[in-house]
Structure 1
Amino acid sequence: MLNKTDLRENLSIPVSDDAGQIEVFQNQTLRPILKLQNEIFLMLFKDYALGKISDFNFLTLEKKLNFIEQSLRKDHTLKNIFIGMTIGMLTAEEMEVYISGKNVFNKRIITMLTERLKSQMEK
């Protein structure tokens, strides 16, 4: 039977000797989850954006990027959905690490997700 970690792509992100537990968890756990869930994150965000701004697809790239940043900074419901989608892919062992620093990890999840969504907006 597959487990959650079997679904994730193994990313070749070098881990320096002085990397802390937070950075290691981010690069070995959170980044692969964000990559795995990317298509779903993008679909959900586009649906959200069109619900807020019906002509979102016709905005300039600059306005789209600004909307992404503002939405993920200010809309707590949206942030919580994305965080929930991410932590739902954690194993029990990973959840223990996440709980030990959830505020830091939540901030990193949203920061990485913001950059990921921005990089995929059509020019």
Structure 2
Amino acid sequence: MLNKTDLREQLSIPVSDDSGQIEVFQNQTLRPVLKLQNEIYLMLFQDYAVSKISDFNSLTTEKKLSFIDQSLRKDHALKNIFIGMTIGMFTAEEMEVYISSKNVFNKRIITMLTERLKSQMELM
């Protein structure tokens, strides 16, 4: 039987001796989960954007980038959906690590997701 970690691509991000627990968790758990869920994040954000701005696709690149930033900074419901989609892919052990510093990890999830969406804007 497959477990959640079997679904994730193993990323080759080096871990140094001075890497802290937060950095290790980010590179070994958050990044692979974000990569796994990428298509779903894009679909969800596209739907969100069109529901808020019906002509989202005709906006300039600069305005789209700004909209992505503003949405993920200010819309708490949207942020919570994305965070929930991410932590839903954690194992029980990963959830224990997440709970120990959830505010830090939530900020990292949203920051990485914002950059991911902005870098793939042409796919929306």
Same fold (TM over 0.5): yes
- Is 1:42 matched up with 2:34? no
Q: Kindly indicate whether residue 97 of structure 2 is the aligned counterpart of residue 97 of structure 1.
A: yes
Q: Match of 1:89, SS?
A: coil
Alignment of 1:1-123 (within 5 A): 1-122=1-122
Superposed CA deviations along residues 69-110 of structure 1, whole A, max 9, x for unmatched, are: 000000000000000000000000000000000000000000
4+ residue segments displaced more than 3 Å: none
Partner Cα distance (1:81, 1:21) in 2:
25
Which amino acid in the other structure matches residue 49 of structure 1? A
Q: How many residues align?
A: 123
Gapped runs of 5+ residues in structure 2?
A: none
- Seq. identity, %: 88
Q: TM-score, normalised by structure 1?
A: 0.98
CA distance in 1, matches of 2:15, 2:51: 40
Structure 2 CA distance, aligned partners of 1:122 and 1:87?
26
Distance 1:98 1:13 in 2: 20
Contact preservation (8 Å) 1:61, 1:122: no
Query: Which segments of 5 or more consecutive residues in structure 1 lack a partner in the other structure?
Result: none
Structure 1 SS opposite 2:111: helix
TM-score (norm 2): 0.98
